[in-house]
């Protein structure tokens, strides 16, 4: 099995550029699950990241108490409310990808929501709370996943789901974790390691210190989901999103906050678009 560094040259030809004939629904439909009323910012950041990376339609799926708060804070992003995992499943069935985890909450509702999403055809990007909630029961998480799904842990979250693996080194640990989970694993850090369940591993080395700010991972999760919604292979989508995310941060530099990242993406993308 091979490992390589993730550079634009390795995924640029696979990037889902639209044509003049492309319809918004052909550009992919992304869902982002929101947390409760006082925890909606993370989902909004993820949704904005997915929209900026090119998803044609983005919906925030939120509990009833959060719906009006979210609706008042977004424009191009649509809002739907759900009151049960079954209702969430119905909303997600037409979608191509769904992000779950950013500020989702550490209650059993997050477990049930993920299990409901696993019964749809949407590819899942599982982040933050939707990882931590499975700390003592990773097998329950793995049962919800397939090879198109993506886990996006930082080292602390990785250790909770894959205890002890980091002792092998980051690249070996990510490769083993992807095999155990049966999904793509994104081990975030200064050099983010991306591993697929078939053994492919790529290392992203354009990380910058400005990404150490609240919400930057939420934007990355949305970017990954947005590319997968456009039917980019999950492993390649992650490689592209991680590089673009870091390059946007590098362009902004000191003072970066998570809200800035989606706004820098158009310039990053314009530099990569074929003439």
> Residue 100's closest CA among 84, 108, 86, 111?
111
pLDDT band at 163 (very low <50, low <70, confident <90, very high): very high
CATH number for the domain spanning 233: value is 3.40.1190.20
Nearest-angstrom CA–CA distance, 190 and 207 = 5
Q: Which residues of 193-220 are buried (b: 16+ CB within 10 A; e: fewer)?
A: bbbbbeebbbbbebbbebbebebbbbbb
For the segment 150-167, the average pLDDT, to the nearest whole number, is 98
- Give a yes or no: residue 18 inside a domain: no
- Give a yes or no: residue 31 inside a domain: yes
Identify the residue with better confidence: 246 or 275.
246
Q: For residue range 54-72, list pLDDT tens digits in order.
A: 999 999 999 999 999 999 9
For the segment 38-57, the average pLDDT, to the nearest whole number, is 98
- Give a yes or no: residue 272 inside a domain: no
Alpha carbon of 19 to those of 59, 83, 104, 234, 274: distances in Å? 23, 38, 35, 22, 12
- Give a yes or no: residue 223 inside a domain: yes
Q: Which domain holds residue 219?
A: 3-11+24-264
- Give a yes or no: residue 17 inside a domain: no
Q: Is pLDDT above 70 for 233?
A: yes
SS3 72: coil
SS3 79: strand
- Give a yes or no: residue 117 inside a domain: yes
* pTM over the 0.85 mark: yes
Spell out the SS3 assignment of 196-221: CCCCCEEEECCCCHHHCCCCHHHHHH
Q: For residue range 12-28, list pLDDT tens digits in order.
A: 999 999 989 999 988 99
pLDDT at position 3: 57
- Total structural domains within the chain: 1
Quote the mean pLDDT of the chain: 96
- Give a yes or no: residue 197 inside a domain: yes
pLDDT at position 7: 87
- Give a yes or no: residue 274 inside a domain: no
């Amino acid at each position: 099995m091979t490992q390589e560094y993730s550079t634009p040259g390795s995924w640029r030809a696979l990037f889902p550029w639209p044509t003049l004939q492309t319809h918004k629904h052909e550009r992919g439909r992304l869902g982002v699950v929101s947390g409760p009323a006082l925890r909606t910012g993370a989902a909004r950041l993820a949704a904005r990241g997915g929209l900026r990376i090119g998803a044609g339609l983005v919906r925030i799926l939120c509990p009833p108490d959060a719906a009006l708060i979210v609706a008042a804070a977004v424009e191009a992003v649509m809002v739907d409310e759900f009151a049960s995992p079954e209702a969430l499943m119905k909303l997600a069935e037409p979608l191509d990808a769904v992000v779950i985890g950013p500020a989702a909450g550490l209650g059993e509702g997050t477990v049930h929501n993920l299990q409901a999403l696993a019964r749809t055809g949407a590819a899942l990007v599982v982040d933050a709370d939707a990882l931590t909630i499975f700390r003592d029961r990773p097998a329950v998480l793995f049962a919800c996943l397939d090879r198109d799904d993506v886990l996006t842990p930082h080292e602390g979250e990785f250790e909770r789901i894959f205890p002890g693996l980091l002792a092998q080194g980051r690249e070996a640990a990510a490769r083993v974790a992807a095999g155990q989970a049966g999904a793509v694993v994104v081990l975030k850090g200064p050099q983010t390691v991306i591993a697929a369940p078939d053994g492919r591993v790529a290392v992203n080395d354009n990380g910058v210190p400005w990404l150490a700010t609240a919400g930057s991972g939420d934007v990355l999760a949305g970017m990954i989901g947005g590319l997968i919604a456009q039917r980019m292979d999950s492993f390649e989508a992650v490689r592209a999103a991680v590089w673009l995310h870091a390059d946007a941060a590098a362009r902004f530099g000191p003072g970066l906050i998570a809200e800035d990242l989606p706004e820098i993406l158009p310039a990053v993308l314009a530099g990569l678009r074929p003439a």
